[in-house]
Amino acid sequence: MEFNKIKTISNNRKVGGDCFRLDYLKNSKLYLDYYLNQFKIEDYWIIKSTNKLRIVSIENFLEFKYSGYILFKKSIYKKEWIESWIDFISINNIEIKFLHKQFPPEYIKKLMKIRDGI
């Protein structure tokens, strides 16, 4: 597998857990290959977590073009649930520059009040 050997990477949670994030960080001393040895990449949904959220392929993740990715364990999180939140955010023009944690439960959408012009 070919992966980015230039960008240094940091993480915010236990790598290989239910949900964790990997971010480009200039002052980190660790590279992507260090983290790849700690989890099985095929077991995770990978989301580009900056600007326009979207699920990306393993190949895109290994290139590490963006500043951050959040990984959701497939055995716990359904792809449809992730996509529904991404759609909800997009349709309602909710600006999330960086997704730092997993999405909340589905029922939260009904409780959210979206305001224009704020």
pLDDT digits (tens, 9 = 90+) for 56-87: 999 999 988 888 898 989 998 888 887 887 77
Nearest to 15 by CA among 42, 33, 36, 30: 36
Q: Cβ neighbours of residue 45 under 8 Å, at least 6 residues apart?
A: 55, 71, 72, 74, 77, 79, 82
- Angstrom distance (rounded) from CA 100 to CA 26: 18
Per residue in 41-62, pLDDT (tens digit) is 999 999 887 777 888 999 999 9
Q: What is the Cα Rg of the chain in Å?
A: 15
